[in-house]
Every structure is written in structure tokens, then in C-alpha cells.
Amino acid sequence: MCLVLATGLLTSVLAASPAADAAFALFWKADNPSDAQKAADAIAKSGVTFDDALARLKEGRTYSATAPKGIVRLSNRIGSTDFPYIVEVPETYTPDRKYQVRVQLHGGVGRPDASQRGNGIGALAGAEQIYVLPTAWAEAEWWTDRQLENIRAILDHVKRTYNVDENRVVLSGVSDGATAAYYVAMREVTPFASFLPLNGAIAVLRSSNVSLDGELYPNNYLNKPFFIVNGGRDPLYPTSLVEPYIEHMRKNGVTLTYLPQAEGVHNTSWWPEVKDVYEAFVAAHPRNPLPHTLTWESDGTATANRVDWLVIDRLAAPKVEREPLHDLNDFGSAPELNFGIRASGTRVTSVVAGSNAARFGVLPDDIISRINAQAIPPGVPVLDLLSIHDKGEAMTIVVTRGGNQVELKGTYDPTAMVRTVPIFGHTKPSGRVDLRKDGNTVTATTRRVSEFTLLLSPAAFDFSKPITVVADGKTVFDGRVAPSVATLAKWAAHDNDRTMLFGAELKVKLPE
């Protein structure tokens, strides 16, 4: 007995299996990724073939025609905190077609409570679509891990309830919400097609008054396009403040459309003139769920170590860098005497070969605790303290190495050069992987990464042929990879995405 399912031009004949049918029924009924994962385990044990499971996951769940429409007020609980949000669904919604989604983040996150803002999208309405409006407040500002978790959970719920076009989900915001769009685009880009900040500023995220969760890496902007609007007369974030950053993004390869409003102030009175251009940008930039090029930088934490089909698993020990990767975080330049190290606080992350630091005997992972008679408190930027010393000065540097105190003596003789000025300072080491896919070959360029995982989709790779991975000029994998139902179901449960299905995980461990 066979059951025929059709999705557009795709027609698959699925072998009837009571165990598989029951497992998939549980999978589609799951309320969240955790429950879906339990059902995914049942799918893997059901005996269903890979092709059968793949066809079912592409087909997706059956959506209810009685799902709530209009303004739907909901709440998501994280720990003991409720995060209220609104989903605004067109009254004409029908489950037989896919809908674009706009996640809209509000401004004014310093309010004391989580009371919901407004009554839906209001004056910022655009094309017919589903609008998602989360809430932030003083104890849960947008630039926190809790809000990233909240947005993930909200999107997951919406995709389980409504027929969402997974490749047309965008994140937009106004004021603080726009600044949050810049934040999210460095930490959580996989679900989104594009980012659309209106009246926001990257510079806000540099302020010591903003308590951020996680490290920020502008290089991650290279993965998705931006649509940006700022006003020339905005008293908070005028075009004169934001344009140097926007031009820096553009010059360094970020895909963006910038629409300055010369007379605009800190509101969206210009929306009627901008709306059609905004929605045309969204329509012209659907998400490619399996892009051929990727770049991602991470401090290794599990909350921000993935982009699309790349996961950074483990950072490598610091090492001598001869050819650092071009970095979008390098914003400007200033003259300085360069000692020859990169450091996170007092911890040395890398040493330039042949530099003044190398002649002293400084090694990666040393912690500089004293320069001559001056003790250095933990976390203080050691590069700033070095800059106050005179060239030619005799110097004793005390470092902690392997639990022991080591004295390094020499002459402070740094090289005169131009120092790059970063957009964001970093307190933790990071790792980065740049990928390029050509057929079944993946070429990776890495920095301070020892292990990463490639998520392989049958829509992107031919599993009947060998897959080759070349990392930093060396072939680190060359062979066949067998797809599995367990892997397919695992990532389907995690992503809840019919267009992003992974049949295998290829773990890549780089040589020392």
C-alpha cells in the first residue's frame, strides 16, 4: 500500500509504515523543539527509509484552518519570567499557502515592566504578512541571551501554528529595536532572510552603558543583507553619526540598501514614502537556506556558534599569526608603537613572529602580571599600559605561564606602525571559519578553530560521491558520508524548517 504526497512539483511515494506514521504524527504535534526531539528519536527507530523521511519532512505538517487570526496575545516563559508578545495574522490567512513574516522590535527598552506595546503593527504595516512583536524591558533588553532565546522560541511557535515561508522571515526594529537588529545579526542569523534597522545605531552597542551578553563580531554581517534608514535631523542617531559605520560595512562587502531621510527626526513619519521600497527589498532578498559561502566568528559559546550549515565546536590554542584574516571589526587606524602581541586584557592571544615581544620570549597564552614595578590587575588592557613606556627603555615583564611566574628581560623596542581601531573590544578569544562550497568540495579558511561541523543537506551535496574538505590549504577529509534518518530528524526537530534539512554531520578536526 502506498500513499502519494505532493508539494509543488515534488511528488514522492511514501511506503506506509504504522511505526513511522505514529512517530511523524507525534513529531508534527510537538509544541517545541524539545518535544519534537523525542519524536525524532521515535522516527529514527521506526525503520523509515531516509528518502521516505526526507519527503515527509519536506512536505511538512498539516496546518489548522482555525488557527487564531487578527491580534493574538501570547506569552513565552523562560525560567520564571514571562515574555509577552503579539502575533498579528491577516484576517484572510489560509493554511494552503506560505506567509512572509516580519519580526518587529520596538524602541524604548528601559521601561520598568514587560507590558505589551501598542496593539499590533499599526502604522508600520506593509505587505500582507504575519507580524511578530516581542517585548523587551529594563530587565530583559534586546541585547541579551534571554531575548535571543525568546525570539527563537517565538519563531518556533509561529512556525508550528501557521504556514510560514521559512525563507521570507525578516527581523526589523525601530530605535532600540533597530540597534538590536545590528546585535542579532552578529549572534543569530540562521532563521532570517535580512535585517532592517530603522533609526538605530551600531555605535550604541559600543557604549559602556549598554550591558551586552556575548561578544560581537561585525564580520558576521557578511552573511545576510541589510536595509537601513536614519534621519538627518535625528537628535539621537543622526546620519552623521551612523554613516561612517554604514559606509564601512558597504566597503567591506556587506550587502545593504541605505535610505537616509534628510529631514527625518527620531520617528517614522517617513514610513509612507519608504514602505514600498522596504517591501521591495524584502521581496528581492529571500533567504538562501544553503548558501555556497559562509563566514562565522564565535567565542565558542553554544548560544552563538552556528550559522546555517556551519557549527564552530572548539577553539584552538592561541598561536603565532602570520597572515591574519581581514576583519570587518577593524574600523579605523591610528599610529602606534607595536610590541607584537594581541591580547585579551592581560592574556596574550597571539605573538607576531620576529616582533619585539617574540624577542622578549612572550608566548601565546601568557598572562602579563607586571611590567617593571607596575602590577597589572586582571582584565586591564595590557596594550594600553605598554603604550605609556618609552622606546629604548629597559624592561622586565613578569608573566604567569603554566602556573609559574616567569621574568622576561629586554629592551622595549616596538615597531612604528599603524594600529587598527576596532569597533568592538573583546575580552575573550574567538575563532572564525570562512567557507566556500563548490559541488562536493568545501574549502575552509580558519583562525583559532580546532574543530567544526558541516551540516550536509541532500539538496546541496551528492551523498553518492565523495565529499572533500580542504582547510587552510590541507585536505582534512576526503570520502563518502552516509546520510542517516537520525541526523535528519534531529536537525528537523531543532530548526523546524522544511527548506533546511540536513542528512549528515561531518565533524572536522584540524591538525595541530
Is 293 within a domain?
no
End residue of a domain, out of 422, 442, 475: 422
Model pLDDT, residue 512: 76
Q: Does 256 have pLDDT greater than 80? A: yes
Model pLDDT, residue 16: 59
Of residues 375 and 418, more confidently modeled: 375
Tens-digit pLDDT profile for residues 49-100? 999 999 999 999 999 999 999 999 999 999 999 999 999 999 999 999 999 9
Model pLDDT, residue 335: 63
For residues 413 and 436, state if they share a domain: no
For residues 232 and 266, state if they share a domain: yes
For residues 175 and 237, state if they share a domain: yes
Is 325 within a domain?
no
Q: Does 262 have pLDDT greater than 60? A: yes
The helix/strand/coil state of 99 is: strand
For the domain that residue 371 is a member of, what is the CATH number? 2.30.42.10
Tens-digit pLDDT profile for residues 392-402? 999 999 999 99
CA distance 173 to 105: 4
pLDDT (average), residues 454-461: 98
Q: Does 4 have pLDDT greater than 60? A: no
For residues 78 and 227, state if they share a domain: yes
For residues 258 and 404, state if they share a domain: no
**What is the rounded radius of gyration, in angstroms, for the C-alpha atoms of the chain?**
25
Is 297 within a domain?
no
Model pLDDT, residue 13: 43
For residues 417 and 440, state if they share a domain: no
Nine cell digits for residue 442: 568545501
Is 414 within a domain?
yes
Model pLDDT, residue 198: 98
For residues 256 and 116, state if they share a domain: yes
Is 40 within a domain?
yes
Model pLDDT, residue 208: 75
Is 101 within a domain?
yes
Q: Which domain holds residue 451?
A: 302-320+428-509
For residues 93 and 242, state if they share a domain: yes
Asked if residue 504 lies in contact with residue 481, where contact means CB atoms within 8 angstroms, the answer is yes
Asked if residue 478 lies in contact with residue 468, where contact means CB atoms within 8 angstroms, the answer is yes
The structural domain count of the chain equals 4
For residues 263 and 154, state if they share a domain: yes
Q: Does 336 have pLDDT greater than 80? A: no
> If phi over 0 gives left and psi between -120 and 50 gives alpha, with beta otherwise, what is residue 93?
beta
User: How many Cβ atoms sit within 10 Å of the Cβ of residue 412?
Assistant: 19
For the domain that residue 186 is a member of, what is the CATH number? 3.40.50.1820
Is 79 within a domain?
yes
- Pairing state of beta strands 467-471 and 441-447? parallel
Model pLDDT, residue 427: 84
Nine cell digits for residue 490: 534531529
pLDDT (average), residues 488-503: 98
End residue of a domain, out of 376, 406, 422: 422
Asked if residue 275 lies in contact with residue 196, where contact means CB atoms within 8 angstroms, the answer is no
Q: Does 251 have pLDDT greater than 80? A: yes
CA distance 307 to 63: 28
CA distance 398 to 259: 53
At 379, the pLDDT band (50, 70, 90 cuts) reads low
Asked if residue 435 lies in contact with residue 442, where contact means CB atoms within 8 angstroms, the answer is yes
Is 64 within a domain?
no
At 9, the pLDDT band (50, 70, 90 cuts) reads very low
For residues 157 and 173, state if they share a domain: yes
At 419, the pLDDT band (50, 70, 90 cuts) reads low
For residues 171 and 216, state if they share a domain: yes
CA distance 213 to 97: 38
Model pLDDT, residue 342: 83
Q: Does 471 have pLDDT greater than 50? A: yes
Q: Does 7 have pLDDT greater than 50? A: no
End residue of a domain, out of 362, 388, 422: 422
For residues 135 and 215, state if they share a domain: yes
CA distance 258 to 155: 27
Q: What is the 3-state secondary structure (H, E, C) of 159-194?
A: HHHCCEEEEEEEEEEECHHHHHHHHHCCCCCCCCCE
